[in-house]
Amino acid sequence: MSLSYAVLGLLNYSSMTGYDLKKLFDDSINFFWSAQTSQIYRELKSWEKKGCITSKVQINEKGPDKRIYSITDKGTEYLKNWLADMPDTVDEDNRNAFLLRVFLLSQIGGDELIFQIQKRLKKYQRDLHNLKAVENKMQEYAHMLGKENEVHYWKIVLSRGFHDVESHIHWAEESLAYLREIKEMKNNVGET
């Protein structure tokens, strides 16, 4: 459901193609809400059927024609109602398949756990790099969309992303140090 409104909300900034929407997802909100191209087009089709967006084909003499999607007044009203109707509890993903595996990895051993956390630490470091790229593009997108005044909202969300990723990096580094300490203690006990 939220993906639908993410599509509608991004179109509220500016009319764009499905390709442009996918690029905007990838360049801006991917760290907290990702979408596949097929999902985006499915949502566009659904919103168009409801009359919340319209589309028109733009002829392109140098390449394939483009379908440009625009939000309607009805779509803007749907979006505003959804934004104003914040539930008391909003799920922030209380299912984490990675942590479940960590919890159960005792069944295959500590070395595997160290390997998996090292692998995850590298992913978190890539995530941090990607957030910095988003931060660098924020002003460009704000200017391109004519939404310089909204960059403050985007910075708040980005700040949360930085806090999340930095805490994950800290957790991984702390966990690796702890696991290495346990491994060393076991090795020392085995030597005596």
Report pLDDT digits (tens) over 61-86: 888 899 999 999 999 999 998 888 87
Domain of 154? 97-191
pLDDT per residue over 8-29, tens digit each? 999 998 999 999 999 988 888 8
The distance of Cα 141 from the centroid of its chain, to the nearest Å, equals: 17
With a pLDDT cut of 70, the percent of the chain lying above it is: 93
Give the pLDDT score at 192: 54
Helices (H), the chain: 2-13, 18-24, 37-50, 73-84, 97-104, 110-145, 151-191
Structurally, the chain folds into a number of domains equal to 2
User: What CATH number is given to the structural domain containing 30?
Assistant: 1.10.10.10
Asked if residue 90 is part of any domain, the answer here is no
* Domain assignment of residue 91, yes or no: no
Q: Are residues 133 and 65 both part of a single domain? A: no
The residue among 84, 105, 128 that closes a domain is: 84
d(CA 1, CA 150): 24
Sequence length of the chain is 192
Spatial CA neighbour of 55 closest among 63, 65, 64, 169: 65
Tell whether 101 and 186 lie within a shared domain.
yes
Domain membership flag for residue 89: no
Best CA proximity match to 157, nearest among 6, 15, 1: 6
Q: What is the pTM of this model?
A: 0.71
- Give yes or no for a contact between 8 and 47, defined as CB atoms under 8 angstroms apart: yes
